[in-house]
Amino acid sequence: MILASLFFAFLAGALHVFIFTMESLTWTRPPTWKRFGIASQSDAETTKPLAYNQGFYNLFLALGAFIGVGLVAFSAPASAQSVAGWTLVFSCCGSMLLAAAVLALTGRKYLRAAVTQGTTPLLAVVLGLLAVLL
């Protein structure tokens, strides 16, 4: 279960790097802003600073998840490094999962994005808890 949890944490991080790329690097390109439901190029330009900032939140969550995966994968069980790794995996993936829940509560049109954003961190957290507690 440890390997499965780390796999899903890694996938969650990879997805959040992709989201960072869209929000912080390609926000004003029509394929990106249309994916996020922005109505026009002008609106994309107006919201660019907000998206840029939000993208970095996603990048930092991804980096925390990646570091956590690495610490768990390359340390002895129950070592300080393993505990630090699980702490990062649970906090970063838990934050991703809660952000997906907020997105889902924003409106029905966001349910698909919320499921996409929340599935891998949910699996990472649940499988990680099972691995640590059993």
pLDDT value, residue 134? 85
Model pLDDT for residues 92-128, shown as the tens digit of each residue: 999 999 999 999 999 999 999 999 999 999 999 999 9
Asked whether the predicted pLDDT for residue 55 surpasses 90, the reply is yes
> From residue 109, how far is each of 77, 112, 113 by CA, in Å?
42, 7, 8
For residues 28-57, average pLDDT: 96
Entry pTM: 0.93
Model pLDDT for residues 7-26, shown as the tens digit of each residue: 999 999 999 999 999 999 99
Collapsed DSSP state (helix, strand, coil) of residue 74: coil
